[in-house]
Structure 1
Amino acid sequence: MGEIRQLLLGLSNNNNNVNRRDRGRQQQQRVVERVVENDDSDSEEELSVAGEDQINQSDYKMKAEIPTFSGHLKIEEFLDWLVEVDRFFDMIEVQESKRVKMVAFRLKSSAAVWWDQLQQTRRRLGKKPIQTWRRMQQMLRDRFLPADYEQLLYRMYMDCVQGNRTVDDYTDEFLRLAEHNQLGESETQKVARYLSGLRPSIQEKIGLQTVWTIAEAQNLALKAELMEKAKRTYSNVDRGRQNPIPDRVPTPFKRAESSSSNRVNENIENPKQNLKLNPYAKPAGDKFYRCKQPGHRSNNCPDESR
């Protein structure tokens, strides 16, 4: 009986331990479920985005490519090209050892000739080839940018005004020049410079409104530009209503008609002039059929009076 009791106690203890383990597992599962429910969905989105990036990485490599450079770009266009190359490397995550070759392959015309001659010169002098994109970028700047390009960019930035261009075109150039100059201006300073470059008519419409960002200034300028376009359209319509196209015969034709009628009247009143103009015309005048003498009528014939 004692042995049976011990066996029964052991079985009960084992059952209690199993139940405790199950309860502990259930509690842990509940805690995990609560954490998952309370957690934001950003982690799941990041995991899905990371998976999509790994799947579509080959598509990006096929579609994206470095823009070509032939050595004939303006200062701001050349700087834009360097920015696009850096953006390409950041997106594709190209290894540093491959970047120089990829950029060299996209060089065309005079830029390609310059690069080939540079590589040959370095080999002839016993120097190592350029292996980093940072070094290659610096050599490109030294070759294709003038020595005073910073001064030129600053002048272009100071002289940037809207003129006859649209607000969008002016804004694009202003932001591009501001980025290339890197003057360390605050946002409010850029806004003041941007507003001073707008057309005076648009500045008047913006008025004394307080503007803190370039985006706000651009929106106000676009609204003012639309108001100007609508005003010009209405003024053209009003001019068309006030000055309609006449349906009558133009004045030069009237003058020609009146002059021709005057000439006809003159020919009728002056028969001698009519003979000069038309030699076949019959001379006008009265002639009595009895005496056959011209210059009088029958009631004034001198022969009849005799």
Structure 2
Amino acid sequence: MSFNQSSQDMMNTMPVDGSGNNGISTLRASAQPTQAGARLVSTRPALFDGTVEDNAVRMWIMQVQDCISLLELQGCLSSETEKILYAANSLTGSAKEAWAIERTKLERTFNNAASPELQRNLYQQLTLEGFLEWIKTEFEDINAKRKRQKDYDNCVQGKRSVGEYLIEFSKFAERIEPPIPEDLRTEKFRSGLNREVLNRLSLVPDEPQTLRGLARFADKIYSRYLEDQAMERASKPMQDRPKSSKKGSYQNQGNSNQGQSNQRMEFLKKCRRENRCFKCGQTGHRSSSCIVTVPNERRLTLIEESTQSQGNGQDRS
């Protein structure tokens, strides 16, 4: 009936208030008992006008819950009706208009109840939790809700430890509403484990069925995997290990490139003197009209041959 909840989901343990009123008919009353009026005025959440951007309704609900918790400790609010009225006094704009419509529906339902017993049941179903859930549903930021779902769907372990993955996964899962059942949450967490863990986990006949148990087991598997990797690297001979890119290797590469460049220059000079093609090294045509595609290996061979022949010529001279 109210706040988008069925009668089976409503709480039915709250007694009728001390005044004998059955609650719903007093939703237009003030939520400021005279003995605690000053405290209620000084402890109030910010006004909420129905803004849907930037999770405004969620921030307002958290403020309401904090204020009511403090006032309960001070003995200022005793019934669910008083808590609802206290929260509703901080509504303004479109949020206040929406509450006025919902409140009228509640009062009409109560007044049309066939018996005092039914009226009592209606009153017992009216809770602060239901009121706040209704407000959140009315003014939920759709974009923020989609982002929370996307964050949850895309959460995977990657290169992180299982513990770090669990912390972020749990944070994203808690933001999803309605709450995700434990078995589905565990299945999603398992699918987000990295390949190394999943490959080893698939060999286990009886893996844990709870999220916390699975996380502990996966953490042991991943720790063992990292230890095996470290031992494998330590057991390899130095020559089989990946070479680190040190400064000397860059210098050697630079010297090699410089040597090939010098050989190429000598080859081009020889071709120019003997009217040979710069590409294939043959006579009778220019490089611009050369139709022969010479592989890089062959070019290097030509360069070496031309250099050697030049050296032999110098020896003969």
Q: Same fold (TM over 0.5)?
A: no
Whichever of the two has the greater Rg, that structure is 1
Q: Using CA pairs below 8 Å that are at least 6 residues apart, which structure has the higher relative contact order?
A: 2
Give the alignment's TM-score, normalised by structure 2: 0.37
Greater fraction of residues in helix: 1
